[in-house]
Amino acid sequence: MINNKQNILTVLVCLCAGLILAGCGERPPVDSQQVGYRGTAMVNFTNPRVEAATEAANAVPAALPAVPGDGPRAGEVYQNVQVLGDLSVAEFARVMLAISNWVAPEQQCAYCHADGESLASDSLYTKVVARKMLEMNRDINVNWTAHVQQTGVTCYTCHRGKAVPESIWFADPGPVTAGGGVAGSRMGQNTPATATALTSLPYDPFTPYLLDAGPIRLATDQALPADNDLNVKAAEGTYALMMHFSDGLGVNCTFCHNSRAFASWSESNPQRVTAWHGIQMARSLNNEYLVPLTSTFPASRLGPLGDVAKVNCQTCHQGVSKPLYGVSMFADYPELGAPKAPAAQPAEGEAVAAAATD
Ligand code: HEC
Ligand code: HEC
Ligand code: HEC
Ligand code: HEC
């Protein structure tokens, strides 16, 4: 009798565990794809059951129809256009409509332009932020092609129809420790953090590397390196950042590294070089554009330590190794790249000379 009860209990426990695991979507079998020389274990694993949701989240909205680029410039026609002055009036209107759909699909123009006020007014903070974002977007597409290639980015790459992008980060003070003191201190780690794919590695892997230029490389050929900074804590910092790379891009370590020799560049995949440029880019975007906006944002948008929301790899990538599966929305919005040179006006002398020969 007791045995029977125990058996039923065992079956129930197994069933529940099965149901819980099935709910994760991470159950086997998984697909694998070879990404390096055979025998080097350089394989990427993907789960076909998770893939469908990722694909849906990374679908690209249809582009607005193209419009004429001739006629007077927005900078001449409008009163307070500081970034997009080189566009035609039609191109300018198309960009305004596109950014409304990408950033504030419900509120549309009113998210950045206060009702009943001139469109030239900068009274809403959202407009001031959006202007800086326009500059940032152009900077990425013009100066960071080592990372984004010709694919480039638009506001949609990060925003995906939301005013606040899905993946942003703040400096993380960590959970309040019970008791306090040395015994209660977590030393910035030892609590599963989503930033590091639920490992107990340091829960703020971003401030040291994507804001400050902290050292990521620590492999050394000396048993006792003179540089005392190459310690276990530093190694955990590097690994925490690497967990974010893998999670943010939806890849394994071997997408970039040969795990036989993590530090070796000659044995790594070319994607690791792209990633290196990505680190420099993310750091630059945070320091050049987001940090200077700190006082522009209302307090409700700032983090627990009063810092501004910042960019990491996931902000653009959102679980895919090329954001939006490598589809270039920028190709349909070249206005978000290099400013157009003003139409060549014949110099006064040439015009006179041309008239004289008529
Ligand atoms: C996400 C914020 C945002 C949204 C949404 C938005 N705008 Fe703008 N708008 C701006 C920014 C930023 C500028 C200034 C651009 C610059 O300095 O180059 C601007 C400038 C303008 C100007 C020029 C006004 C002047 O005289 O200086 C017009 C016109 C305009 N927007 C119309 C619209 C319309 C129409 C919509 C809705 C379809 C819209 N905007 C939606 C941010 C936005
Ligand atoms: C590299 C990623 C990235 C790109 C590209 C990007 N943004 Fe942002 N944007 C951010 C981050 C991060 C924030 C800060 C989040 C917050 O508002 O708290 C932000 C905030 C904003 C806000 C303020 C929203 C609010 O409610 O506080 C506006 C408006 C905005 N962006 C407009 C744009 C526009 C327009 C473009 C394209 C020209 C653009 N962004 C491109 C990352 C990006
Ligand atoms: C998207 C590419 C990418 C992925 C995925 C990735 N890494 Fe890295 N890794 C890099 C880059 C780039 C560097 C070098 C950064 C630098 O030099 O500034 C690096 C550096 C390292 C280093 C330091 C090497 C040295 O010179 O001391 C280690 C260790 C490391 N990664 C381990 C891992 C582990 C473990 C994983 C998986 C959890 C991983 N990486 C995933 C790109 C990647
Ligand atoms: C501003 C948006 C943005 C940010 C932030 C960003 N990336 Fe990218 N990344 C892109 C785009 C766009 C591409 C696609 C380029 C292409 O088409 O080849 C890309 C491509 C890559 C690739 C090449 C993938 C492949 O299949 O060849 C790697 C690796 C990569 N990014 C790593 C990173 C890492 C690591 C970070 C954070 C340190 C990062 N990215 C941050 C936009 C971004």
168-173: average pLDDT: 91
d(CA 51, CA 357): 69
Contact 96, 89 (CB under 8 A): no
Q: pLDDT grade, residue 20 (50/70/90)?
A: very low
Half-sphere exposure at residue 239, Cβ-oriented, CA atoms within 13 angstroms: 13
Mean pLDDT value across the chain:
86
Contact 205, 237 (CB under 8 A): yes
Contact 335, 97 (CB under 8 A): no
Q: pLDDT grade, residue 352 (50/70/90)?
A: very low
Angle 193-205-263 (CA atoms, 0-180°, nearest 5)? 120
Angle 203-311-136 (CA atoms, 0-180°, nearest 5)? 165
Provide CB contacts within 8 A for 280, sequence distance 6+.
none
256 CA from centroid of ligand 3 (Å): 7
pLDDT at residue 348 tops 70: no
Which of residues 277 and 231 earns the better pLDDT score?
277
Nearest CA to ligand 4 atom 1: 316
User: For 267-306, b where at least 16 C-beta lie within 10 A, e where not — what string?
Assistant: bbbebbebbbebbebbbbbbeebbeebeeebeeebeeeee
d(CA 295, CA 321): 33
Range in 223-232, 294-303, 343-352 the model is least confident about:
343-352
> Pick from 86, 1, 54: which is nearest to 335 by CA?
86
22-44: average pLDDT: 74
**Looking at ligand 1, which atom is closest to the CA of residue 77?**
26
pLDDT at residue 21 tops 50: no
155 CA from centroid of ligand 1 (Å): 14
Q: pLDDT grade, residue 357 (50/70/90)?
A: very low
| Percentage of residues in the chain having pLDDT higher than 70 | 85
Contact 161, 108 (CB under 8 A): no
pLDDT at residue 1 tops 90: no
Rg over CA atoms, the chain: 26
67-78: average pLDDT: 95
pLDDT on residue 138: 98
Which residues does ligand 1 sit against, CB inside 6 Å?
Answer: 78-84, 96-97, 99-100, 103-104, 108-109, 111-113, 119-120, 126-127, 130-131, 134
Tell me the best of 313, 315, 325 to mutate to test the pocket of ligand 4, counting ligand atoms within 8 Å of each CB and taking the most: 313
Decide: 275 in ligand 4 pocket, CB within 6 A.
Answer: yes
Q: pLDDT grade, residue 356 (50/70/90)?
A: very low
> Pick from 187, 184, 189, 185: which is nearest to 202 by CA?
189
Max avg pLDDT among 46-50, 53-57, 185-189, 233-237: 233-237
Provide CB contacts within 8 A for 182, sequence distance 6+.
none
